[in-house]
Amino acid sequence: MSERISEEKINQVRQSIDIVELISEYVHLKKQGRNFVGLCPFHGENTPSFSVSPEKQIFHCFGCHAGGNVFTFLMEIEGISFQEALMKLAKRANIHLDLHDQKSTHPASHESTRLIEIHELVRKLYHHLLVNTNEGQEALEYLHKRQFTKEMIDEFQIGFALNKKDFLYNYLKQRGYSEELLIRSGLILRNDDTLEYYDRFRERIIFPIFDNKGNTVAFSGRILKEGQPKYLNSPESLIFHKSKILYNFHKARPNIRKKQFTILFEGFADCISAFQAGVDNGIATMGTALTDEHVNLIKRITDRVVLCFDADSAGQNATYKAGEMLQNAGCSVQVAIIPNGKDPDEYIKTYGPDKFMNEVIGSSLTFMAYKMKYLRAGKNLHNEGEKLSYIENILVEIAKLDKAIEQDYYLRQIADEFSISLDALKKQLRQIAYSIKKGKPIIKTQINANDSLPNKDKKQKHAYYNAERMLIAHMLKSVHIANKVQEKMKHINFNIDEHQAIVAYLYAFYEAGNVPDLSNFLTFLNDPELQKITTEIGMLNINDEPSDKEIQDYISHVLKYQKMQKIEQMKAEMKEAMRVNDSLKAAELAKQIMKLL
């Protein structure tokens, strides 16, 4: 359906359908307080965690976190598009959709178009500055020393941001873009004290980030000389969501289909280096853990994935988690091991493309073989207790394999290595498989113990995380509170990227003249992951009339965490200054820290 339906017509359809009646046709619901509850249709469960709010006209599962409005539910339950869901519900409500006379466009869609337009223009500008100007010569020489060829620079449209405070701001202003739009693009910032506008990226090598359709939606800038942070990224916005974007996906897609598998990297630098090594079916996450959205994107074009993450502890933990997600989604997973603790980019630059393709990619392990290697790391298998624990954990993983021949293969490996009877292992495996089938408790593998935060950090994260959720919950119910938060947090982002994206949409929603309506806002969001989070937040119990102090306390928690992060960074810089006997810099940093405290 190429014709656009007006927002008014979409709202008419949504308001004409009672969500309880619709969901009752698919789920047995029981009244419980103000809501209705039932067993979630989107995942297996024995205890109801699926809740429907007739007051808010939304649903939410506290188990799998599915959530949304009538459109979302029908799309999820029947696997159809928004347009198809709209048409089915319009027919149900006897509402005629005039597909020929509707000319209006979604406000968020219009702003997204403008933001993409800005990013495309800036990408071309940065690339031109790198390859065609004297100002970009130093950066170009640096890239050549780092073995970036002209082909790679052109292929990935790498650019350079000048070391000028407001070069990009003036460039874009001259082309008619408003300050408000430039701020929302994330490319321009404003100093609250001087009210001056300045560029986010300065004296940095710029790597454009493309969405899955090939539109430029963000940038990552690597500092050319000394300084922190090493990489500076665009914030989340209406057009940029790290949880949905896989770097190089738009270019790699035809090659993935042709080769029938993809190689997944942990960062875009590895993906670019691998391209030089001959990997044209490589994609990468954007500095974030693999998400369900990423997995769904991959599953649309292939069910074979080779994971090629960093060889350090964090990279291997990420490999394990990503492999589990992909395998649970039905993918065949292999793992490429980088020797000598290197990341793919380092390995390729040190040993060359041929060795990478033959000895890393060409020697990939099955995911089960990787699990066996991963789960024995750090264990003393000469200790009887640790050995038995390891074997039991491996049996749990073997029990999850679908093919009997695979199970037999790995059981024989365990039997041979530890001199255990194959019959005993098979008996134990049957007990574990039975427990899994019946949903009974089984031995749980302890994974990523090193990932735990210190108690202090956990409490700190808990405070700002909950504060952001409570703020959004109140903002969803009140334009006044939303305006107050926007005013108090001028040009300051929420700490959680998804929360920042939600409030960016919410500001646009209210600016378009909409009144608080959670179900309507979910349609406006048009983003499955953000819809789930927003629905969960919308189900929170909050005061209908919060005091100014309550709102200010939430804001303070958010800002306090950011200040503490900044203080920690400055402390590290001060320590380094003291190490190199730069007493002036150390004193200045100490002064700034005291001011922040």
Burial class (CB in 10 A: 0-12, 13-18, 19+), 150: exposed
Query: Would you say 223 and 204 are in contact if contact means Cβ atoms under 8 Å apart?
Result: yes
Q: Report the pLDDT value the prediction gives residue 141, as an integer from 0 to 100.
A: 96
Q: Report the pLDDT value the prediction gives residue 99, as an integer from 0 to 100.
A: 59
For the chain, the average pLDDT equals 87
Q: Report the pLDDT value the prediction gives residue 150, as an integer from 0 to 100.
A: 94
How far is Cα 113 from Cα 544, in angstroms, rounded to an integer? 36
Q: Report the pLDDT value the prediction gives residue 83, as an integer from 0 to 100.
A: 85
* CA angle centred on 196, ends 193 and 197, rounded to 5°: 130
Which residue in this structure is represented by tokens 């990468």? Answer: 284
Beta-carbon count within 10 A of 228 CB: 12
Which string of DSSP letters, residue by residue, matches 247-289?
BTHHHHHHHHHHHT-EEEESSHHHHHHHHHTT--SEEE--SS-
Q: Report the pLDDT value the prediction gives residue 569, as an integer from 0 to 100.
A: 74
Burial class (CB in 10 A: 0-12, 13-18, 19+), 237: buried
Average pLDDT estimate for 538-558: 87
Tokens of 81: 């598009």
Q: Report the pLDDT value the prediction gives residue 84, as an integer from 0 to 100.
A: 83
Burial class (CB in 10 A: 0-12, 13-18, 19+), 595: exposed
Average pLDDT estimate for 383-409: 90
How far is C-alpha 209 from the geometric centre of its chain's CA atoms?
14
3-state helix, strand, coil in the chain (%, to 5): 55, 10, 35
Q: How many CA atoms lie within 13 A of 28 on its CB side?
A: 3
Average pLDDT estimate for 206-213: 92
Q: Report the pLDDT value the prediction gives residue 236, as an integer from 0 to 100.
A: 92
Strands 282-284 and 262-265: parallel
> Alpha helix (H) ranges present in 400-517?
404-418, 422-438, 455-477, 479-488, 497-511
> Does pLDDT of 444 surpass 70?
no
Summarize pLDDT for 270-318 with one digit per residue, the tens: 999 999 899 999 999 987 889 988 998 888 788 899 999 998 888 899 9
Reported in sequence order, the residue ranges of 491-554 that DSSP labels E, i.e. its strands, are: none
How far is Cα 89 from Cα 74, in angstroms, rounded to an integer? 9
Beta-carbon count within 10 A of 486 CB: 15
Q: 163 CB contacts (<8 Å, ≥6 apart)?
A: 202, 203
User: 345-349: long-range contacts at Cβ-Cβ below 8 A with a sequence spacing of 24 or more?
Assistant: 345/269, 345/270, 345/272, 345/273, 348/273, 348/274, 348/276, 348/277, 349/146, 349/147, 349/273
Summarize pLDDT for 96-153 with one digit per residue, the tens: 887 544 444 456 668 888 999 999 999 999 999 999 999 999 999 999 999 999 999 9
Q: 529 CB contacts (<8 Å, ≥6 apart)?
A: 241, 243, 244, 291, 292, 293, 498
Q: How far is CA 447 from CA 371, 400, 452, 547, in A?
A: 11, 17, 10, 43
Answer with the residue of higher pLDDT: 283 or 75: 283
Q: What is the model's pTM?
A: 0.62
Confidence of residue 18 (pLDDT cuts 50, 70, 90): very high
Least confident span in 29-38, 265-274, 470-479, 484-493 = 484-493
Beta-carbon count within 10 A of 44 CB: 10
Least confident span in 248-262, 444-458, 524-538, 568-582 = 444-458
> Does pLDDT of 532 surpass 70?
yes
Confidence of residue 474 (pLDDT cuts 50, 70, 90): very high
Q: Which domains does the chain have, with CATH numbers?
A: 7-92 (3.90.580.10), 107-233 (3.90.980.10), 249-357 (3.40.1360.10), 376-449 (no CATH), 455-592 (1.10.860.10)
Q: Report the pLDDT value the prediction gives residue 265, as an integer from 0 to 100.
A: 96
Q: Report the pLDDT value the prediction gives residue 446, as an integer from 0 to 100.
A: 37
> Alpha helix (H) ranges present in 174-227?
179-185
How far is Cα 350 from Cα 396, in angstroms, rounded to an integer? 39
Confidence of residue 337 (pLDDT cuts 50, 70, 90): very high
Provide the 3-class DSSP secondary structure of residue 73.
Answer: helix
> Does pLDDT of 41 surpass 70?
yes
Confidence of residue 158 (pLDDT cuts 50, 70, 90): very high
Query: Would you say 202 and 224 are in contact if contact means Cβ atoms under 8 Å apart?
Result: no
Q: Report the pLDDT value the prediction gives residue 202, as an integer from 0 to 100.
A: 95
Which residue in this structure is represented by tokens 């005061």? Answer: 543
Average pLDDT estimate for 360-370: 94
Closest CA to 61 of 88, 21, 89, 23: 23
Average pLDDT estimate for 142-168: 95
Strands 35-38 and 30-32: antiparallel
532's enclosing H/E stretch is helix 528-538
Answer with the residue of higher pLDDT: 102 or 77: 77
- Treating both helix axes as pointing N-terminal to C-terminal, what angle do 518-525 and 7-16 enclose, rounded to 10 degrees? 130
Q: Report the pLDDT value the prediction gives residue 92, as an integer from 0 to 100.
A: 92
Which string of DSSP letters, residue by residue, matches 328-375?
HTT-EEEEPPPGGG--HHHHHHHH-HHHIIIIIITTPEEHHHHHHHHH
Average pLDDT estimate for 438-449: 47
> Does pLDDT of 454 surpass 50?
no
Average pLDDT estimate for 343-365: 92
Q: What percent of the chain has pLDDT over 70?
A: 92
Average pLDDT estimate for 536-561: 87
Query: Would you say 69 and 522 are in contact if contact means Cβ atoms under 8 Å apart?
Result: yes
How far is Cα 328 from Cα 402, in angstroms, rounded to an integer? 11
Q: Report the pLDDT value the prediction gives residue 128, as an integer from 0 to 100.
A: 98
Q: Report the pLDDT value the prediction gives residue 438, as an integer from 0 to 100.
A: 66
Average pLDDT estimate for 428-449: 64
How far is Cα 336 from Cα 319, in angstroms, rounded to an integer? 10
Average pLDDT estimate for 76-92: 84
